[in-house]
Chain A
Amino acid sequence: MTKQEQVKAIFIEEAGEIIEKLDVDILRFEENSADFALLNEIFRGVHTLKGNANAFGFTRLGEFVHHFEDVLDHYRSTKEEVEEHHLELFVGSVDVIKEVMNCELDALPDLPSDYDTYLGKIKELISSKRNGDSNVAPEPFTAPVVMMDLASEFGLSNEEEFEAAILNSIQLQQMSQENGLNLYRIDLRLDRDAYKRGFDHLLFLRLLKEKAISLESFLNMENVQRLESFSCDENVIGHVGVILLTPQNSEEVSENFEFLFDHEYSVRKIESTRAIQEAEIIKEPEIIKEVEKVAPKSVATDAPSSPTPLSTAKSTIRIDTFKLDELFDSVGELVIAQNFIAQNEKIRAIEDESISRAIETLSKITKRIQDRVMSLRMVAIRDTFDKMKRVVRDTSKKTGKALHLNVLGEETEIDKTMIDSLSDPLIHIIRNAIDHGLETDEVERLSIGKKAEGTITLRAYHKSGSIVISVSDDGRGIDKEKVVRKAIERGIITGDENLTDSQIFGLIMQPGFSTAESISDLSGRGVGLDVVKTSIEKLRGKIEVESKEGEGTTLSMVLPLTLAIIDGMLVQTAGEIYIIPTLSVVESFRPEREIVHVLKGQGEFVSMRGQHIPVVRLSDVFDLPTQRIEPWEGILVCVETEAGRIAIMVDELVGRQQVVIKPLGKSLAKLKEITGGAILGSGDIALILNVDELRPLIEVSNGGN
């Protein structure tokens, strides 16, 4: 990736974050349009987005946000309450911003269909406001008073705002600064007679650009006067800040200004973020002294001799998740190595207290490192839930159903990788809950004694080492008879099955199933919930459905804490160790002889609480040579699978352990009964079972009977 591409990637990421925040904030503002602090927050986001978009040539985005910013600026500076119909314009404008951003990223020639409509409405609004409030012409740049207010709202003077823009540029350059390149800040304050002496700011910029990898300059035009006091022969550009990235050293850069007076320029080298961090870690003050750094404060300073390091203002840094994954892998190896030492027979045979203590300390430290690295990947689910508020709002408006949203457990933390894959399933479940779960209208709700307003509850919580994210509605509940009838019609079941409630509810997630009377653009196409189910299963999770007719439905996504580690039950059969994901384990037991049955042509079953559960012999699945024993001589591990419960027969249980998942090689990856592998403390490799693929092998396991 080139330097420019890296900077652009940072911009794209930041712009994405700003837009996501706008999406949430605009809804909060819609709920409370008198919250001018929030309006300021929105304004600042739009303002930053405008600057960045223009800087990267995303002019169509820049144009739109520029006018949107004008509207926001009007309301925040006049403190005029936003009219309800204009709130809708605000919300729609954020949608357009999102779409334009996508067009810009994909370099699409066509703009979103709403672009011109919303831009027109925005311009119309600002024009009417300006004409109405005063007789100022509707041009956005005709209101210096308003723009001055912008700076005062930020608490910044013009020079401070100027300084903030320079610092922002420095930070962007620092983040992707490569070895061998030097970053400089150059300040030009040419005297008024500079032009007469034959100098011009642009002359210096042209010289610098010849050797530059990147050059960004900021011209402060604040001192330029009206024509009556202006003469183009006099330099009135008081200050030009230049950020230069170049392979040249300080002397070479300074040579460009050798004919200027000393007070007219300054060249300061800026360390890369990495160098600053390293300097802080090794705490060598002389390194700090060697290089001048730029003060993070936004106040302009004429005294560059006492700057503060930029790094002191930063409390967070961005890290590529790929690097985190690598770190996590390495820690996984460390855990394995530590286990190997702790469980090694030869080491354990050494009867030396100091060695035992050292191993114990190593074990504790390793665990602590593992926990801390794990925590780096964990983020609160709040942002995802915030996005869902918009989904609820829009769906409520589209369906015309009044509803109240409850959000619980926003602080629950979940693996970042998983969060990214959760939005789509969650959106679909929420739309489904509103569209199909809630009663058609208030009349229907009131007629059965419910409140007119429906309730959707979004909740996240920990349960038995897993994360549960649930969506509940207080609507009709699932009509089991209707579900069964539809499933028969669609050929999903024959009707002869004796299905439990949970199996009936599970039918709604079968491909092609839909009980919706009409197909809407929200849900009801019968392609939704099965896709949701598949998405969640890809995350090694599962969906549980609970429903009571007339009272409501809860769909819960049960997910592992992380994708990198699995909580597994270690079992042994024919001398080999296998891992069963604990999430799918219901119970394990040695069965009484009386509850084991063999049905001719159908294999072995175990009776549990009135259910006949098929027995799957693991040794048969993997064709392992072993002395055949009866089920009541072994151990059965009952697991929940897509197709219902099965009992996996093993020789013995080894224990429960968290293991780091390792991908399998190409040859083993073809085995659908296995999802991955793990290295145990002993150094042995254990395979992780895909329990959903074990059931079809019943016939195989019956082969010996």
Chain B
Amino acid sequence: MQFDGDALTISLNMSMEEVREFEQFVRPRIEYIETIEVEEGSILKVSALLALLVSLKRTRPEITIPFLERGISATDVYGTLHWMGHD
């Protein structure tokens, strides 16, 4: 995870434990985050991370999360994933 000014870059490969840590990290800082980018090539490991990103977006709609906004991810590991009702 990298925090550069108001842009946060995360890896999607977080374990459940790492998602918990990320949640703890982001809660007090949500007002300062403008963008959450994901590391290229990283793949979701747990669905809780996706839920957390949706929750962040719901809490502060101004945050830009391009990965989330795409609404779709296609990988060899999971096939095609669509998430709906997140906006």
Contacts and interface: CB of A to CB of B under 8 A. Distances in A.
A225 B62 contact: no
Given A209-B77, A217-B82, A233 B57 contact: no
A632 to B, nearest CB: 78
A224 B58 contact: yes
Given A55-B80, A139-B62, A141-B57, A221 B72 contact: no
A625 interface: no
Interface stretch (A199-207, A410-418, A611-619): A199-207
Contact of A57 (B23, B45, B50, B74): B74
A201 B49 CA distance: 12
Interface in A159-174: 161-162, 165
Interface in A214-236: 214-222, 224-228, 230-233, 235-236
Nearest to A190: B47
Contacts of B86: 221, 224
A218 B55 contact: no
Q: How large is the interface on B (under 10, 10 to 19, 20 to 34, 35 or more residues)?
A: 35 or more
Contacts of B48: 195, 200, 232-233, 235
Nearest to A222: B85
Contacts of A491: none
A467 B11 CA distance: 64
A201 B47 contact: yes
B61 A165 contact: no
A142 B64 CA distance: 9
B32 to A, nearest CB: 14
Contacts of A209: 76-79
A217 B56 CA distance: 23
Nearest to A210: B77
B78 A226 contact: no
B47 A202 contact: yes
Interface string B52-74: 10111111011010001111101
B30 interface: yes
B47 A227 contact: no
B61 A144 contact: yes
Contacts of B68: 141
B79 A215 contact: yes
B31 to A, nearest CB: 11
A504 interface: no
A219 B81 contact: yes
A218 B62 CA distance: 25
Contacts of A141: 57, 61, 68-69, 87
B1 interface: no
B69 to A, nearest CB: 5
B81 A165 contact: no
Interface in B1-35: 16, 19-20, 23, 27, 30
A218 B23 CA distance: 24
The residue among A140, A200, A206, A232 with the most chain B CB atoms within 10 A of its own CB is: A232
A195 B70 CA distance: 25
A243 to B, nearest CB: 9
Given A205-B78, A209-B77, A215-B78, A225 B58 contact: yes
Contacts of B49: 232
Nearest to B47: A201
A202 B70 CA distance: 18
A142 B62 contact: yes
Nearest to B86: A221
A227 B59 contact: yes
A237 B79 contact: no
A142 B61 CA distance: 5
Contacts of B45: 202
The residue among A143, A221, A233, A237 with the most chain B CB atoms within 10 A of its own CB is: A221
Contacts of B87: 141, 144, 147
A24 to B, nearest CB: 28
Nearest to B61: A142
Given A142-B62, A212-B79, A224 B84 contact: no
The residue among A208, A212, A224 with the most chain B CB atoms within 10 A of its own CB is: A224
A376 interface: no
A137 B74 CA distance: 30
Contacts of B50: 219, 221, 237
A158 B85 contact: yes
Contacts of B76: 209
A235 B23 CA distance: 14
A564 to B, nearest CB: 41
A216 B51 contact: no
A54 interface: yes
B85 A227 contact: no
A237 B82 contact: no
A161 B71 CA distance: 14
Contacts of A147: 87
B85 A220 contact: yes
A54 B81 contact: no
A230 B46 contact: no
A215 B80 contact: yes
Contact of A230 (B16, B52, B72): B52
Contacts of B70: 54
A232 B19 contact: yes
A228 B80 contact: no
A353 to B, nearest CB: 67
B78 A202 contact: yes
Given A195-B48, A220-B84, 14 more contacts: A54-B70, A139-B64, A158-B85, A162-B84, A165-B84, A217-B81, A221-B86, A224-B86, A227-B27, A231-B23, A232-B23, A235-B47, A235-B48, A235-B51
Interface of B: 16, 19-20, 23, 27, 30, 44-52, 54-59, 61-62, 64, 68-72, 74, 76-87
Interface of A: 54-55, 57, 137, 139-144, 147, 158, 161-162, 165, 195, 200-202, 205-206, 208-209, 212, 214-222, 224-228, 230-233, 235-237
20 contacts: A55-B74, A137-B62, A144-B58, A200-B16, A202-B46, A209-B78, A212-B79, A215-B80, A217-B82, A218-B82, A219-B83, A221-B86, A225-B55, A227-B27, A230-B55, A232-B19, A232-B49, A232-B52, A235-B47, A237-B50
Q: Shortest 4 CB-CB distances between A and B: which pairs?
A: A215-B79, A222-B85, A142-B61, A221-B86
